[in-house]
A and B are shown apart, each in its own frame.
Chain A
């Protein structure tokens, strides 16, 4: 009997190998229930809700990570231990660019390592880079969906109340260095997921929806955001299908 993973309470091969990684528990439930066929909830423990299901003609899964790199690292480590290979984070972020409005979609090519967890893995010079095949597949699916998408570097950090519209003091000043460098948006999980992906040789990408613009202060309505999030989930699920097909073709 293979080892039961400490937090996600699963064993080898119990979770399908292509996994969506939302932060929010409820978004995992929403994806499992509304986007997958033949879906089955297999775990509900702490911030980790896991569903297996099918999308188009391929097996897929979803697992919530909770907020932040600490719990996201636990999720991807344990999922990798039981055989998962393809990961796409689906989440929300704050736009840092005047070109990116609330509801717009962002595909990350890499992330600024403003988090603490990834530093425990490898020194800070090492790049948090998304898998280029996953980026390309996400982009192809985004084009198919006619989504208004942006491709580039994002910032991952730990302290929400230092860099958000709800932050203490002058948060715009704190993020201006990153905005001037062409950073598209800020969020809380991707950098560690990317670093662990490179270290464990699994494919990791991220697709995000701008919930608001941190510079202009503009926010989207709940309905508009949900529409964009649905689109991002559709693109990411499709990408998980394409990545599996691509691997089969190669073999």
Chain B
């Protein structure tokens, strides 16, 4: 069997259940939760680990930053047999009631990126899979953790993200804040669109590492890592429930 062009994996080397962080450096953190994790491939921004979790074969594959590289990762994972995929990432909150470290489970995403438009016209909604949403919500509730469920934004140009570009940055974001958008990140919308088109289940779980309204940020890597450990546990529990369904 030929190896996938970018991920350098082949069918049989990954599980049906995949966790997708953006950062390749986070794959090994996620793999710590697997039994007998194996580094399967490493190429460009794509790192893949495969292991077991309570009888399931699970993998962690990084997507790199942004929808162009995330779309490649998802397509090649699907071609290699993945069926249930959850993006794990960080996000900047756009609502006052979202505290740093809170979990966000997107129901859908504003398509402010270029990649998904090559797949299907812009009026098509970028929606997370309903089973993944429900199973992630259930997993967070069972642990008594706070989560917010709703619409997020996925966009392409980090340095147009007003927080880093302009002193009166909130002006540009006001429309989205007023439209009850929870937060901003860079990959989910293309992942949701491709998931729907390819008939696999895709969802996201994000943690707020900044709040654009209060201007607070988490810079402590240790703190962010501990949030990723927590989210990995929740994803794996959701996978267990998905398998039963």
Contact = CB atoms under 8 A, between A and B. Distances in A.
A139 B125 CA distance: 20
A125 B127 CA distance: 12
B169 interface: no
B197 A182 contact: yes
Given A132-B107, A132-B134, A201-B180, A114 B197 contact: no
Name the residue in A122, A132, A177 with the highest tally of chain B Cβ atoms < 10 Å from its Cβ.
Answer: A132
B78 to A, nearest CB: 14
A124 B130 contact: no
Interface residues on B, range: 20 to 34
Interface string B175-188: 10001100000000
Interface string A106-121: 0001111110000000
Interface string A140-183: 00000000000111000000000000000000000001000110
B196 A127 contact: no
A135 B131 CA distance: 10
Contacts of A123: 175
A30 interface: no
A136 interface: yes
Given A182-B199, A201-B180, A129 B124 contact: no
Given A153-B127, A182-B197, A199-B179, A125 B107 contact: no
A132 B180 contact: no
Name the residue in A110, A151, A181, A198 with the highest tally of chain B Cβ atoms < 10 Å from its Cβ.
Answer: A110
A129 B107 contact: yes
A125 B149 contact: no
Contacts of B196: 152-153, 181-182
A135 B130 contact: yes
B179 A122 contact: yes
A135 B151 CA distance: 16
A112 B149 contact: no
A152 B180 CA distance: 23
Contacts of A127: 108-111, 125-127, 151
B179 A126 contact: yes
Interface in B115-156: 120-127, 130, 133-134, 149-151
B151 A126 contact: yes
Interface in B66-121: 107-112, 120-121
A122 B176 CA distance: 9
15 contacts: A110-B127, A111-B125, A122-B179, A124-B123, A125-B122, A127-B125, A128-B125, A129-B127, A132-B130, A139-B130, A152-B196, A153-B127, A177-B121, A198-B150, A198-B180
Interface of A: 109-114, 122-129, 132, 135-136, 139, 151-153, 177, 181-182, 198-199, 201
